Amino acid sequence: MRASWDIFCNVIDNYGDIGVAWRLARGLASEHGLAVRLWVDDLHAFQRIWPAVDPDAETQRCAGVDVCAWRTPFADVAPAHVVIEAFGCALPDSYLEAMASQSLPPAWINLEYLSAESWVAAHHGLPSPHPRLPLTKYFFFPGYTPETGGLLIEPGLPACRDAFRHGATTPFWRQLGLEPPMPDELRVSLFAYENPALPALLDAWAAEARPLTCLVPEGRVIPQLKAWLKEPDLQAGDVAERGALRLRILPFSDQDAYDRLLWACDLNFVRGEDSCVRAQAAARPLVWQAYPQAGRAHWDKLDALLARYADGLDRDVAQAVGDLWRGWNGVPGAPTLAHSWSAWRCRQGGIDAHARAWAAHLGTLGRLTDTLVDFAENKIK
């Protein structure tokens, strides 16, 4: 009998918690044929990234996963064989007691945030005994080396991406209300947190010699765009033009359609965790905005990913990538956005080629679904 899995997700803010939990749940069900229940405390946030979700249903089946509303008091259910708490969300007390009362306690795993930092490998898989109950929780770290849990990239992604690029981009653009790009046009997607560097980037884009279309899913940067454009209102479907720049606001889409946007664009600005991995797997250049953290810890995360991403790159290409990423993240000492954008443009050919090579390299690292299944099955043997 294959093990049953419970994944718990507490939505704190943004879409990263539910984005990762949902991608993991779907992957475990579709790639490994596992019985997966996903417990989510905010089905409205979930519905934003997966519109088929009914926010009022207590239980529902979506993409082969049993989606359950996580309520207080918690439902009286038997624990699964494997229990994943996403990002340290505390499990309900009654569920923990039920886990402890099993003759063979479940494998209990805390899925941590992704980081390219080197300390991750040393912490991956470490146990933490419960202070009172006969249970041990294990820390599971996604990461960029074989000593970590790997990345959430499904095995079929490269083939789907390449098939899309070879035949489906024109209908995709038309669905968004756009013609396919002109030969000298650059298409950029922009998914970002509020960012003091945004006006300087928009100025640089407006001053481009060639047309640049920027596609912005509805979200946290809209107030800044309104201020820069001096437009009182901006909604999905709206288009604004300033110099060479055409800005188009997109409705927030489901996770799979967002992947297609990343595949279709020449450059993707992404943020947080999941969109960053998906943009890398898109085999196109990216600019990453790390989730801002207290004590500027996100700058260490940024440098760690940059160090891996730019390893072995031609010096000028690495500099152009690093300067734009650091400037976008407000790292002190980074050149101005105007300067780093123009340097990035000059090196674009090398950056494009690297993005393809990097995506292929990611395919040689471990896949999170596989490493997690191996890890959990070892614990319940």
Task: Supply the residues annotated as catalytic.
Answer: 17, 273
In angstroms, the CA 42 to CA 49 distance is 12
What minimum distance in Å lies between the beta carbon of 196 and ligand TRH?
17
What minimum distance in Å lies between the beta carbon of 105 and ligand TRH?
29
Site string for ligand TRH, 177-206 (x = CB under 6 A): --------------x---------------
- Point out which span in 7-15, 101-109, 116-124, 328-336 binds ligand TRH (CB under 6 A): 7-15
Q: Using the minimum distance from each CB to ligand TRH, give the nearer residue, 275 or 369.
A: 275
In angstroms, the CA 244 to CA 204 distance is 9
What minimum distance in Å lies between the beta carbon of 77 and ligand TRH?
26
What minimum distance in Å lies between the beta carbon of 42 and ligand TRH?
12
Residue 301 near residue 321, CB atoms below 8 Å: no
Residue 53 near residue 84, CB atoms below 8 Å: no
If one asks whether residue 14 binds ligand TRH (CB under 6 A), the answer comes out as yes
The tokens describing 207, both together, are 């001053």
Q: State how beta strands 82-86 and 4-9 pair.
A: parallel
Q: Using the minimum distance from each CB to ligand TRH, give the nearer residue, 265 or 373.
A: 265
- Scan for tokens 């229990």, then name that residue: 83
In angstroms, the CA 303 to CA 280 distance is 16
In angstroms, the CA 87 to CA 17 distance is 7
What minimum distance in Å lies between the beta carbon of 224 and ligand TRH?
16
Q: What are phi and psi of 76, to 5 degrees?
A: -85, 90
Q: Whose CB is nearest to ligand TRH?
A: 16
Among 41, 85, 274, 303, contact with ligand TRH (rule: CB under 6 A): 274
The tokens describing 173, both together, are 């653009």
Site string for ligand TRH, 287-306 (x = CB under 6 A): ----x---------------
Q: Using the minimum distance from each CB to ligand TRH, give the nearer residue, 115 or 371.
A: 115
What minimum distance in Å lies between the beta carbon of 198 and ligand TRH?
16
Residue 140 near residue 112, CB atoms below 8 Å: yes
Edge-to-edge strand list for the sheet holding 82-86: 59-62, 65-69, 35-40, 4-9, 82-86, 107-111, 136-140, 127-129
CA nearest to 290, candidates 312, 273, 277: 273
List binders of ligand TRH among 19-78 (CB under 6 A).
19, 49
367: helix, coil or strand? strand
107: helix, coil or strand? strand
List binders of ligand TRH among 201-230 (CB under 6 A).
217
- Point out which span in 9-17, 61-69, 160-168, 371-379 binds ligand TRH (CB under 6 A): 9-17
If one asks whether residue 172 binds ligand TRH (CB under 6 A), the answer comes out as no
If one asks whether residue 252 binds ligand TRH (CB under 6 A), the answer comes out as yes
Q: Which positions touch ligand TRH (CB under 6 A)?
A: 12-17, 19, 49, 113, 191, 217, 252-255, 258, 271-275, 291
